[in-house]
């Protein structure tokens, strides 16, 4: 398997994971307003922190791809 395909797949997986964590954090907040909880281990803010870390990796890999394309001279 090509390294670029592996990085692209991981980037897509992290992006999807970040949005799932965002959706879970929103659902947790809605449940908290009603006096309930979904996650007993993590709060909504911590879920958003984890989503931010995943998105940071996605941004870093995309910037690496852009830098590589600029160095190679491809349009």
Rounded to an integer, the average pLDDT of 30-59 is: 91
Q: Judge whether residue 75 has pLDDT over 70.
A: no
pTM for the whole thing?
0.81
Residue numbers of the domain that contains 34 = 3-72
pLDDT of residue 46: 92
Task: Supply the angle between the helices 44-72 and 3-33 in degrees, to the nearest 10.
Answer: 150
Computed over every residue of the chain, the mean pLDDT equals 90
Q: What is the per-residue pLDDT for 74?
A: 63
* Residue 35 falls in which region: left (phi positive, over 0), alpha (psi -120 to 50) or beta: left
Question: How many domains is the chain built from?
Answer: 1
Vertex 39, ends 22 and 56: CA angle to 5°? Answer: 30
Query: What residue spans of 1-75 are helical by DSSP H?
Result: 3-33, 44-72
Alpha-carbon torsion angle 65, 66, 68, 73, nearest 10: 140
């Amino acid at each position: 398997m090509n390294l670029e395909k592996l990085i692209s797949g991981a980037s897509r997986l992290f992006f999807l994971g970040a949005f799932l964590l965002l959706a879970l954090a929103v659902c947790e907040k809605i449940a908290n307003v009603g006096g309930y909880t979904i996650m007993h281990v993590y709060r909504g803010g911590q879920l958003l922190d984890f989503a931010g870390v995943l998105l940071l990796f996605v941004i870093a890999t995309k910037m690496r791809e852009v830098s590589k394309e600029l160095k190679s001279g491809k349009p």
